[in-house]
């Protein structure tokens, strides 16, 4: 279970960042009073344009960043006060964290299994299950640097799941993947959901959110403008599909900001 309560995250900007972002303000409110709940057996999708605040929100949930305001509970533990306990319950995947290119998927899997305090037998069983599922076995001994983007992403996903976490936090899990590999990953997320895990992902891909997510939260300029099931979102925006709903909301809320 993830409960985000009024999360605000403000970054301080360096002079260089102010120049790059063409702003005179030395702060950036990346997430503004965001509240959401993701339950066990549910996939929650954060949908939003570039710079909306999706990665920032997920980093706060994963204890990598401290909220400026508000609080987050993961499996009833506070992500600031009980961050160690939260870390044991979660896995976090972002396309900016890479596996060490010098080592193989098998080596990395075993390494992270030991880091999580698992015994050799458990590690081997988990590895068999995940490597078979993602088709990693045939390249499990190759160096990460020799692998394609899709192979690397599959290996990263498998390694992140080594400790069988209750809460799965994936930032754009299918980014850069071909349609076959992307399906492989989304099917696995459905399996995790069936096992009763709590899953939260971010995505730009409308069809992915439509097909995969039980609940969708749309963020624009750090503000959650709507959340609910696909049906809820379509009926409250009077639209036929998520893309149309997204553009309706974008027109409305991007204007407010300007
Ligand atoms: N470390 C940082 N310091 C300053 N500003 C930051 C930092 N990280 C992100 N930002 C800014 O905060 C805002 C939200 O960024 P974030 O990465 O959370 O968006 P996102 O929704 O994940 O975007 P994308 O779809 O491009 O991944 C952006 O304006 C970004 O420039
Ligand atoms: Mg992002």
Ligand 1 pocket check for 56: Cβ under 6 Å: yes
CA 231 / ligand 2 centre spacing (Å) = 26
Q: Please, what's the b/e burial string for 86-110 (b: 16 or more CB within 10 A of its CB; e: otherwise)? A: bbebbbbbbbeeebeeeebbbbbbb
Strand partners, 217: 46, 227
Enter the pTM of the model.
0.94
Q: Look at phi and psi of residue 132 and say left if phi exceeds 0, alpha if psi is from -120 to 50, else beta.
A: alpha
Ligand 1 pocket check for 17: Cβ under 6 Å: yes
Tokens read off for 35: 């509240």
3-state secondary structure the chain: CEEEEEEEEEEECCHHHHHHCCCCCCEEEEEEEEEEEECCCEEEEEECCCCCCHHHHHHHHCCCCCCCEEEEEECCEECCCCHHHHHHHEEEECCCCCCCCCCCHHHHHHHHHHHCCCCHHHHHHHHHHHHHHHCCHHHCCCCHHHCCHHHHHHHHHHHHCCCCCCEEEEECCCCCCCHHHHHHHHHHHHHHHHCCCEEEEEECCHHHHHHHCCEEEEEECCEEEEEECHHHHHHHHCCCCHHHHHHHHHHHHHHHHC
d(CA 166, CA 1): 8
Contact 79, 73 (CB under 8 A): yes
Q: Residue 12's pLDDT is what?
A: 94
Nearest CA to ligand 1 atom 25: 50
CATH code given to domain 2-257? 3.40.50.300
Ligand 1 pocket check for 53: Cβ under 6 Å: yes
Q: What is each CA distance from 214 to 38, 43, 46, 118, in whole angstroms?
A: 9, 5, 11, 32
CA 55 / ligand 2 centre spacing (Å) = 4
Nearest CA to ligand 1 atom 10: 30
Taking only the tens of pLDDT, the chain with its 258 residues reads: 999 999 999 999 999 989 988 888 999 999 999 999 999 999 999 999 999 999 999 999 999 999 999 999 999 999 999 999 999 999 999 876 678 899 999 999 999 999 999 999 999 999 999 999 999 999 999 999 999 988 999 999 999 999 999 999 999 999 888 899 899 999 999 999 999 999 999 998 999 999 999 999 999 999 999 999 999 999 999 999 999 999 999 998 886 554
Q: Residue 123's pLDDT is what?
A: 97
**Closest atom of ligand 1 relative to the 58 alpha carbon:** 18
Edge-to-edge, what's the strand order for the sheet holding 69-74? 27-38, 2-12, 69-74, 77-78
Ligand 1 pocket check for 217: Cβ under 6 Å: no
Q: Residue 177's pLDDT is what?
A: 87
Q: Which of 19, 46, 51 to mutate to test the pocket of ligand 1 (most atoms within 8 A of CB)?
A: 51
Ligand 1 pocket check for 26: Cβ under 6 Å: no
CA 151 / ligand 2 centre spacing (Å) = 21
Ligand 1 pocket check for 52: Cβ under 6 Å: yes
Nearest CA to ligand 1 atom 28: 51
């Amino acid at each position: 279970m993830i409960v985000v309560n009024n999360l605000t995250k403000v970054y301080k900007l360096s002079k260089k960042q102010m120049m790059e972002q063409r702003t005179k303000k030395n702060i950036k409110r990346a997430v503004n009073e965001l509240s959401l709940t993701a339950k066990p057996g549910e996939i929650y999708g954060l949908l939003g344009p570039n710079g909306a605040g999706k990665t920032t929100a997920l980093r706060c949930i994963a204890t990598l960043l401290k909220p400026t305001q508000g609080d987050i509970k993961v499996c009833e533990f506070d992500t600031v006060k009980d961050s160690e306990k939260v870390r044991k319950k979660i896995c976090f995947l972002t396309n900016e964290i890479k596996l060490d290119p010098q080592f193989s998927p098998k080596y990395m899997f075993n390494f992270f299994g030991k880091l999580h305090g698992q015994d050799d037998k458990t590690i081997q069983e988990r590895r068999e299950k995940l490597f078979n599922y993602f088709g990693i076995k045939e390249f499990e001994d190759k160096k990460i640097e020799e692998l394609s983007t899709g192979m690397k992403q599959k290996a990263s996903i498998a390694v992140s799941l080594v400790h069988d976490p209750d809460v799965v936090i994936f930032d754009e899990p299918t980014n850069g993947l071909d349609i076959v590999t992307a399906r492989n990953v989304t099917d696995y997320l459905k399996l995790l959901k069936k096992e009763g895990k709590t899953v939260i992902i971010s995505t730009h891909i409308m069809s992915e959110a439509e097909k995969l997510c039980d609940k969708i939260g749309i963020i624009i300029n750090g503000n959650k403008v709507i959340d609910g099931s696909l049906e809820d979102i379509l009926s409250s925006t009077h639209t036929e599909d998520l893309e149309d709903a997204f553009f309706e909301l974008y027109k409305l809320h991007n204007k407010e900001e300007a």
